[in-house]
Amino acid sequence: MSQNKLSVTILGSSAALPANHRNPTSQLLKSDQSYYLIDCGEGTQSQLRRFHLKMQRIKVVFISHLHGDHYFGLLGMLNSMHLLGRTASIHIVCPSDLKEIIEVQLQAGGGRMQFQIEYSFTDRVNDDRTLVYEDDQLQVDAFRLKHRIPCTGFVFNQKEKPRSYNAAEGAKHNISIKDIPNIKLGQDYVNADGLVIPNKQLTLEPPSPKSYAFCTDTLPLDNTVEQVKGVDCLYHESTFSQVETKRALATYHSTTIEAAQIAKKAGVGKLVLGHYSARYGDLSILLDEAKSVFDKSILAIEGEEINI
């Protein structure tokens, strides 16, 4: 039966420097049985191991931008995948410069991966949502954020699942196994007496598809409000407390209050804060600030799986 479960596990929640036992940015998005990695800061593969998440199940990696705290873990992870015998290809959605960086490192090591790396580049992504990846589970759009270097936000939309067969209802009408595939395809059922049983009666409504938006590292933008409108869950970086609003502006980052205002204006289901500056040991001040604007705010805590 189709589940359409979407969740995100936080692997790294720290800004630039690993500090306070927090790691640089990475998140594992799970849609049913499919795994997608979002950013891959240093130490990501160790975090995956620590939280018992199977690295080889990752089929796609999304990299927001090429500051080291968002991708320095990628080569190490790819190398481990290779050493552990991976043969299935992996897809990387990223700025095109990353391909060269990966290839230089692989060539210098004199080796080749025994699996294919496929790329989709985000260089031409603009303010409007652009499709950058699609499979049977998800459609992923990207849009431009504003940081010191080109940076993309991602919106992950689950696809609608087909209606599933209602076995209890089928039994009432003595439907045989050979007729089930047609019912799953949407056909009505006609019984021996010529009575039509409508498809809707024999099938169950699929769970509603969920959506997740990931926005790091960026100034707060009006355009982000437009692009993430109504998503079930928004991750928006909140590197600083509102006390550091000027510093946030100077470094092209956002504060808790700014992230919460975007969440509120966009009418999202919930807001996840993260990318915390190393200056914050205790994160409760950041959470309290965000909640003063948008009550459905939560902290990204490493190892925690957030159901969307």
Catalytic residue positions, numbered: 69
Least distance in angstroms from the C-beta of 261 to Zn ion = 21
Q: Which whole-number Å values give the CA distances from 202 to 78, 117, 195, 237, in the listed order?
A: 46, 43, 14, 45
Q: Helix, strand or coil for residue 5?
A: coil
Q: Choose the stretch contacting Zn ion; rule: CB under 5 A; options: 132-140, 172-180, 209-217, 285-293.
A: 209-217
258 binds Zn ion (CB under 5 A): no
Work out whether 302 is an interface residue with Zn ion (CB under 5 A).
no
247 residue type, one letter:
R
Query: CB of 67: closest distance to Zn ion in angstroms?
Result: 5
Q: Which is nearer to Zn ion, 13 or 45 (CB)?
A: 13
Q: Which is nearer to Zn ion, 81 or 98 (CB)?
A: 98
Question: How many CB atoms are closer than 10 A to CB 291?
Answer: 16
| For Zn ion, the closer CB: 232 or 237 | 237
For the sheet containing 6-12, what is the strand order?
117-121, 90-94, 58-62, 34-40, 26-31, 6-12, 305-307
- CB 39 → Zn ion: shortest distance, Å? 8
Pick from 156, 151, 91: which is nearest to 126 by CA?
151
Q: In the set 42, 141, 217, 258, which binds Zn ion (CB under 5 A)?
A: 217
- Count, residues near Zn ion per rule CB under 5 A: 2
CB of residue 275 to Zn ion, shortest distance in Å: 6
- The continuous run of DSSP H or E covering 105 comes out as helix 97-108
Span near Zn ion by CB under 5 A; candidates 108-116, 215-223, 224-232, 258-266: 215-223
Q: What is the DSSP string of 274-287?
A: E-B-TT-S--HHHH
Q: Are 234 and 213 in contact (CB under 8 A)?
A: yes
Residues 15-34 that bind Zn ion (CB under 5 A): none
The residue (of 217 and 289) whose beta carbon lies closer to Zn ion is: 217
**Phi, psi angle pair for 293, to nearest 5°:** -105, -45
152-158/211-215 β-pairing: antiparallel
C-beta closer to Zn ion: residue 175 or 300: 300
Instruction: Using the minimum distance from each CB to Zn ion, give the nearer residue, 161 or 236.
Output: 236
Does 141 contact Zn ion by CB under 5 A?
A: no
For residue 69, state whether it binds Zn ion (rule: CB under 5 A): yes
39 in contact with Zn ion (CB under 5 A): no
Q: Please check whether residue 78 is in contact with residue 45, taking contact to mean a CB–CB distance below 8 angstroms.
A: no
What are the residues whose beta carbons fall under 8 Å from the beta carbon of 100, sequence distance 6 or more? none
Candidates 40-48, 66-74, 144-152, 153-161 — which segment interacts with Zn ion by CB under 5 A? 66-74
- Single out the segment in contact with Zn ion by CB under 5 A; choices: 67-75, 135-143, 259-267, 277-285: 67-75
Q: Which residues bind Zn ion (CB under 5 A)?
A: 69, 217
